[in-house]
């Protein structure tokens, strides 16, 4: 049984994909065909993961997405049909696996619609520099419920706007887009034509300034 794009598997394949899925149910010939497809399309998996990592930077790690993409490639390769191009099918499987991974692992905190419509932004106990699962936690808003001692009084929309108006323009804009309008860092960056990292830095400075003013009573 031959498949397009296949070529002999090279030595050291297990080192290329250390997380390869179990192949106990595959025959020797099927295993060889799978390995050939995987090596042939390894660059495709890496490229799809790299594109998605750039789009979601700095919310995800490129290396994590590459590993997810490679594992999806190994799982999907045996399902390719003989005589049909493998790349379109593998691309769909890899993209789907990455999207599923992001839905489960990437937690973007957003302002609840009810509070957003009321013009309120909850300020909460979650550390603005906290990490989750060993990865940076990029907040797209001021965090919610139960407030810290220095921020124990509820801040209504008007008071918050007045405080934001006192910030430098770049910081105020970043905060309004991410916290008040609910945009992600990437969406805010696209609107401002700057990098997501620049939006994040401006956002963090704005939040730090607001925390300081709230703690000092102005």
Nearby residues of 75 by Cβ (< 8 Å), 6 or more positions away: 21, 93, 97
- In-domain check, residue 204: yes
Average pLDDT over every residue of 206-210: 83
Q: Is 193 left (phi over 0), alpha (psi -120 to 50) or beta?
A: left
Most confident of the ranges 64-78, 91-105, 126-140, 147-161: 64-78
Domain closes at, from 46, 76, 105:
105
Strand partners, 132: 135
What's 69's domain CATH number?
1.10.1740.10
CB 9 within 8 A of CB 36: yes
- In-domain check, residue 161: yes
Residues 98 and 122 placed together within one structural domain of the fold: no
Residues 64 and 118 placed together within one structural domain of the fold: no
Query: Residue 157 and residue 175: Cα distance in Å, rounded?
Result: 13
The total number of structural domains that make up the chain? 2
Q: Give the pLDDT band (50/70/90) at residue 9.
A: very low
Q: What is the pLDDT of residue 130?
A: 52
- The overall pTM is greater than 0.85: no
Q: Tokens for 202, please give them.
A: 């401006």
Q: Which domain holds residue 91?
A: 13-105
Q: What is the pLDDT of residue 83?
A: 84
30-71 tens-digit pLDDT:
888 888 889 999 999 999 999 888 887 777 788 989 999 999
Residue ranges with strand state E in the chain: 131-132, 135-136
Weakest mean pLDDT among 34-38, 85-89, 152-156: 152-156
More confident residue, 138 or 47: 47
Weakest mean pLDDT among 101-110, 158-167, 191-200: 101-110
Residues 118 and 35 placed together within one structural domain of the fold: no
Question: Kindly report the CA angle at 85 between 82 and 87, in degrees rounded to 5?
Answer: 125
């Amino acid at each position: 049984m031959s498949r397009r794009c296949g070529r002999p598997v090279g030595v050291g394949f297990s080192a290329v994909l250390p997380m390869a899925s179990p192949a106990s149910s595959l025959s020797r010939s099927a295993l060889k065909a799978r390995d050939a497809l995987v090596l042939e399309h390894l660059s495709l998996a890496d490229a799809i993961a790299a594109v998605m990592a750039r789009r979601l930077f700095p919310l995800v790690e490129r290396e994590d997405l590459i590993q997810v993409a490679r594992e999806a490639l190994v799982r999907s390769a045996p399902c390719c049909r003989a005589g049909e191009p493998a790349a379109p099918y593998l691309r769909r499987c890899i993209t789907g696996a990455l999207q599923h991974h992001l839905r489960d692992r990437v937690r973007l905190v957003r302002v609840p619609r009810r509070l957003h419509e009321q013009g309120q932004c909850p300020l909460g106990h979650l550390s603005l520099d906290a990490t989750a699962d060993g990865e940076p936690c990029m907040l797209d808003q001021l965090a919610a419920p139960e407030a810290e001692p220095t921020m124990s009084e509820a801040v209504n929309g008007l008071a918050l706007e007045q405080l934001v108006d006192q910030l430098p323009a770049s910081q105020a804009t970043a905060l309004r887009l991410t916290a008040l309008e609910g945009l992600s860092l990437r969406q805010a960056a696209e609107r401002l034509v700057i990098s997501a990292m620049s939006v994040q830095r401006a956002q963090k400075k704005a939040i730090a300034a607001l925390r300081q003013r709230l703690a000092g009573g102005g």
